[in-house]
Amino acid sequence: MLGALAARNGEVVTKDELTNAAWAGRAVSDDSLVQCIKDIRAVLDDTERRVVRTAVGRGYSLHGVSHFAPGSDRRPRIIVSRLRADEQEPMLVEMAEIIAEELVLALSPRAGFEVATGSEQPDETDYILEGRARKSGQEVRVFVQAVKGRSGEVAFAETWETSIDMVDALPKQIGEKIASLLRIHLFNHAGAAFIDVRNDALTTHELMAKAAYHMSRIQMENRDAARDALSLAIEREPSNAVALAMRASTAVLLVLQEGVAKIPDTRDFLMNLGNRAVGIAPQVDFVMLSRGTLRLWLDHDHAGARDDFARSLQINPVFHLGLQFLGTSEILCGDHRAGIARIEKVIELGTASNPRYPHYLTLVALGHLVDRDFGTAVAVSAKALDLAPNDPWCGYVHAAAAADRPDILDTKRFQCMMDANELPFSHYRDLPFTDIAVVEMLESRLASAGYPRAAKSGEAIAADT
């Protein structure tokens, strides 16, 4: 059993996995497992349970100490190259230089990677931003791509076309879009190489990249893997503000999908992490954003949350998560049209391949629901559900949106979705809406749609009265 724990040092090993490792599939009681853990702790003199830790309801984890050589924890390096342009076209040459400058300005607030200009050997950098600008008649076309330095693989690419008299606005648009896409790409994919590597074999930055990869999947099992990786990162570097903020964020990552009751950590523990992170690095947009999400979901403190979101956007005006959560707060507070516009800006800055994309659509649909624009709400929520058919939050919002659409309610697909959805009828009531009348309207629509929890809720209310 100790071998099974050591093989995944820093990660939670489930009770079933430990039982299989120690007893080769034989049926044993939980008492046998608990006794074995006690024996291991006794041998290791782990009286304070710091080496072998209990993950309540899940299993156990071993926390050894790993040492890394100074300087081994390098951040990703991004090189911004000037776009190629016809030297005989001064306007294109100048625009190419301005685009490179805008890219540097847009990327510089990001604490997670190094930004440089010029040219370097591909094996000395992680990503190279390059492209070209050309003119055809009165039209200008710009192509930009992010290329992985070592492999030469294209991570993503975008094009813009506009008339010559509109080119002045183009460099800023390109800078914002590429910076946002690169940030999303790194968060979603940079840790892919580490997901099958033991936590104790990774550097702190690699642990954070691994955690980001899991967080971007927005699933319970991925959240738990992210928590394990970040707990070890903080154990090594207690003053790593981004690791502290990420660890706090994992707890509220699935609030919309699971509900507040299933947050796996206490409010005081999470706020302590968030405040520590802000105290160390208030200049980092993600750090400010993370504390804001805690204030929003744990305390229903819209004013405090908005202050943090606004600060994150002062640092980086196109920070997609800052826009997302400020827009979410606006929708929940009744300023839904401003919130819809902000979430649509997030969609504009991103890509449909982002795992969060269906949630962005669902937030837009919720905004239209609050605005009583039920036709738009059902169309947008249906699109979100098509992209994430098993996501409970997407299904929950779609149920309220489709309340007066028998052509949807009577379909087998809709009924199967509702039967499988485990979000409680009262989930809207647990969210930080500021107007109870909005919640009652949403619950009324859920009941009209025959949401599985509706009858149970109605019976409970009748019994109380």
Distance CA 289, CA 215 (A): 15
Query: Does residue 400 fall inside a structural domain?
Result: yes
Q: Which domain CATH number covers 229?
A: 1.25.40.10
Question: Residue 66: pLDDT above 70?
Answer: no
pTM greater than the 0.75 cutoff: yes
Same domain, 110 and 203: no
pLDDT for position 361 = 97
pLDDT at position 126: 87
Mean pLDDT of 264-291: 96
Asked if residues 289 and 328 have their Cβ atoms less than 8 Å apart, the reply is no
State both tokens at 63.
């926390």
Instruction: Please report the pLDDT score of residue 219 as a whole number.
Output: 79
Q: Are 119 and 38 in the same domain? A: no
CB of 332 closer than 8 Å to CB of 345: no
State whether 212 and 182 are in the same domain: no
Are both 82 and 41 inside the same structural domain? no
Assess whether pLDDT exceeds 60 at residue 457.
Answer: no
User: Do 83 and 46 fall into the same domain?
Assistant: no
Kindly report the CATH number assigned to the domain that includes residue 116.
3.30.160.180
* Per-residue confidence (pLDDT) for residue 400, from 0 to 100: 98
Segment 93-97 shows an average pLDDT of 92
How confident is residue 26, by pLDDT bands cut at 50, 70 and 90?
confident
End of a domain among 126, 155, 189?
189
Query: Average model confidence (pLDDT) for the chain?
Result: 88
| Rounded Cα–Cα distance for residues 170 and 144 (Å) | 12
Q: What is the model's pLDDT at position 38? A: 84
Tell which of 317, 339, 372 closes a domain: 317
In a domain? residue 334: no
* The total number of structural domains that make up the chain: 4
Q: Half-sphere exposure (CA, 13 Å, Cβ side) for 303?
A: 0
pLDDT of residue 133: 94
Q: What percent of the chain has pLDDT over 70?
A: 92
Q: Give yes or no for a contact between 146 and 181, defined as CB atoms under 8 angstroms apart.
A: yes
User: Does the structure show a pLDDT above 60 at 68?
Assistant: no
User: Rounded to whole angstroms, how far apart are CA atoms 246 and 415?
Assistant: 37
Are 220 and 309 contained in the same domain? yes
151 shares a domain with 223: no
Structure tokens at 120: 């370097």
3-state secondary structure of 366: helix
Q: Specify whether 82 is located in the same domain as 54.
A: no
pLDDT at 288: 97
CA pair distance 86, 385, nearest whole angstrom: 46
Q: What is the pLDDT of residues 157-206, one digit of tens each?
A: 999 999 998 999 999 999 999 999 998 898 888 899 899 999 999 999 99
Domain interval for residue 43: 2-62
pLDDT tens digits along 228-248? 999 999 999 999 999 999 999
- Same domain for 259 and 210, yes or no, is yes
At 363 the pLDDT is 98
More confident residue, 11 or 112: 11
pLDDT given for residue 455 in this prediction: 45
| Predicted pLDDT at 43 | 75
As given in the structure block, the two tokens for residue 353 are: 């391949």
pLDDT of residue 51: 81
Residue 267 placed within a domain: yes
CA 27 to chain centre: 39
Instruction: Work out the pLDDT band at 3, boundaries 50, 70, 90.
Output: confident
Q: What is the pLDDT of residue 464?
A: 37
Inform me whether the pLDDT recorded for 385 exceeds 70.
yes
Asked whether the predicted pLDDT for residue 463 surpasses 60, the reply is no
Q: Which residues of 312-333 are buried (b: 16+ CB within 10 A; e: fewer)?
A: bbebbebbbbbbbbbbbbbbbb
